[in-house]
């Protein structure tokens, strides 16, 4: 009898939020715990529940916004409160399934916990089955073939509405989303400039990723650099930073320019958000300024993945992945993205398949 019970429980390492985040996140805001998880669906839980073995976790900046006491999100009903396991995007293998669309051994990407094993009670809405994984690493579904990739593709094509020869600016251009947007723009025949946080990343954008130019925003005057690289103005901007960057961009846009707002990494860690002062440019220049999330474009996902896989196999699309091994290093990996330590999409490896 003891043997049967022990087989139904698994030790489960977890990253738990220790404190609400104030200012920039710190490693001390998190702690590593070991609990146990049942392999049986609990009484009263949905029969559709799925037990996941987590393989890869995405370090997404927006999670910081959800960890603050004074913030909430309309995008998720899950509160990231002290004592709870951190939740975010990841890639996992199905260990047990009561959901007809998934079976044991299937791979999925979507919402999971920062832990070794997670019960997901809403797989229909929170998980996507991975259909093609033979020719690319599974970790790609935490980045280019998952939420960040669809964010980049849909935001650029559906909101920036690019045309050949147009001038495109990408902020946080060496991040998991930005480095893809720049490449999509070049494929459309656009002139593309990106800003980033180190000279190493500037070099990467200009050489490996094909940006026409790039600059380190920490070492220059932003307005002067935008004037320098966009003397006739910006047609389309993919905005990942917000705050002062967005304020300056508004002054540089051409008439009928389009700004897709994917993220605001500069604002996640501040107590007083930066007030945008140049909003009159929206009227004066008849601009489109639109925020969005990839959930708005789920219907595009299948066609996007087919396209992206083809471009990857043809080596016409470069994906930069920053891999950190070990769940125990997840907190430091996450904190590091707010200090510019990542190059491309930062992913934590929890387990090999």
> Is the whole-model pTM more than 0.85?
yes
Q: Are residues 166 and 247 in the same domain?
A: yes
Note whether residue 309 is domain-resident. no
Q: Are residues 339 and 261 in the same domain?
A: no
Closest to 307 measured CA to CA, from 187, 165, 161: 187
Per-residue pLDDT at 70: 76
CATH classification at residue 205: 3.40.50.720
Collapse the DSSP code of 136 into the 3-class scheme (helix H, G, I; strand E, B; otherwise coil) and give the result: coil
Note whether residue 308 is domain-resident. no
Note whether residue 273 is domain-resident. yes
* pLDDT tens digit sequence for 80-137: 899 999 999 999 999 999 999 999 999 999 999 999 999 999 999 999 999 988 889 9
* pLDDT-based confidence at residue 229 (cuts at 50, 70, 90): very high
Q: Are residues 13 and 110 in the same domain?
A: yes
Between strands 50-58 and 87-97, the pairing is: antiparallel
Collapse the DSSP code of 297 into the 3-class scheme (helix H, G, I; strand E, B; otherwise coil) and give the result: helix
Q: Are residues 112 and 210 in the same domain?
A: no
CA distances to 73, 89, 189, 282, 315 from 17, rounded to whole Å, are 17, 16, 44, 39, 40
Q: For the chain, what is the mean pLDDT?
A: 93
Q: Are residues 154 and 271 in the same domain?
A: yes
* Distance of alpha carbon 289 from the chain centroid: 20
Q: Are residues 159 and 288 in the same domain?
A: yes
Q: Are residues 59 and 189 in the same domain?
A: no
Note whether residue 301 is domain-resident. no
* pLDDT tens digit sequence for 237-250: 999 999 999 999 99
Q: Are residues 18 and 36 in the same domain?
A: yes
Q: Are residues 10 and 79 in the same domain?
A: yes
- CB of 214 closer than 8 Å to CB of 195: yes
Q: Are residues 47 and 129 in the same domain?
A: yes
Per-residue pLDDT at 75: 53
Q: Are residues 158 and 260 in the same domain?
A: yes
Mean per-residue pLDDT for 68-77? 63
Give the range of the structural domain holding residue 345, as residue numbers without chain letter: 2-142+320-349
- CB of 77 closer than 8 Å to CB of 44: no
Angle in degrees, CA 23, 320, 187, rounded to 5: 110
**Euclidean distance between CA atoms 239 and 149, whole angstroms:** 15
Number of structural domains (the chain) is 2
CATH classification at residue 94: 3.90.180.10
Per-residue pLDDT at 72: 57
């Amino acid at each position: 009898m003891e043997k049967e019970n022990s087989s139904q429980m698994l030790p489960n390492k977890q990253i738990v939020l220790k404190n609400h985040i104030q200012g920039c996140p710190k490693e001390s805001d998190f702690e590593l715990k070991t609990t146990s998880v049942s392999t049986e669906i609990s009484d009263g839980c949905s029969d559709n529940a799925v037990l996941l073995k987590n393989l890869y976790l995405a370090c997404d900046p927006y999670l910081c916004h959800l960890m603050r006491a004074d913030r909430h999100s309309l995008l998720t009903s899950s509160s990231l409160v002290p004592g709870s396991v951190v939740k975010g995007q990841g890639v996992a293998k199905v260990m047990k399934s009561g959901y007809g669309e998934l079976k044991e051994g299937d791979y999925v990407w979507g919402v999971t916990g920062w832990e070794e094993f997670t019960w997901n009670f809403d797989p229909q809405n929170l998980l996507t089955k991975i259909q093609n994984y033979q020719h690319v690493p599974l970790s790609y579904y935490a980045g280019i073939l998952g939420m960040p990739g669809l964010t980049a593709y849909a935001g650029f094509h559906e909101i920036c509405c690019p045309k050949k020869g147009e001038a495109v600016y990408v902020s946080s251009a060496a991040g998991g989303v930005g480095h893809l947007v720049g490449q999509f723009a070049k494929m459309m025949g656009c002139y593309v400039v990106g800003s980033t946080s180190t000279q190493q990343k500037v070099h990467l954008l200009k050489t490996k990723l094909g940006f026409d130019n790039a600059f380190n925003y920490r070492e220059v005057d932003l307005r002067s650099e935008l004037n320098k690289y966009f003397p006739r103005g910006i047609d389309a901007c993919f905005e990942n930073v917000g705050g002062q960057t967005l304020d300056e961009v508004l002054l540089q846009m051409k008439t009928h320019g389009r700004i897709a707002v994917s993220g605001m990494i500069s604002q996640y860690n501040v107590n007083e958000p930066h007030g945008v002062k140049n909003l009159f440019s929206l009227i004066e220049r008849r601009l489109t300024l639109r925020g969005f999330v990839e959930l708005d474009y789920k219907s595009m996902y299948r066609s996007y993945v087919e396209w992206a896989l083809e471009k990857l196999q043809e080596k016409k699309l470069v994906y930069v992945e920053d891999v950190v091994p070990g769940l125990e290093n997840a907190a430091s990996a996450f904190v590091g993205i707010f200090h510019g330590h990542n190059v491309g999409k930062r992913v934590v490896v929890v387990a090999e398949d």
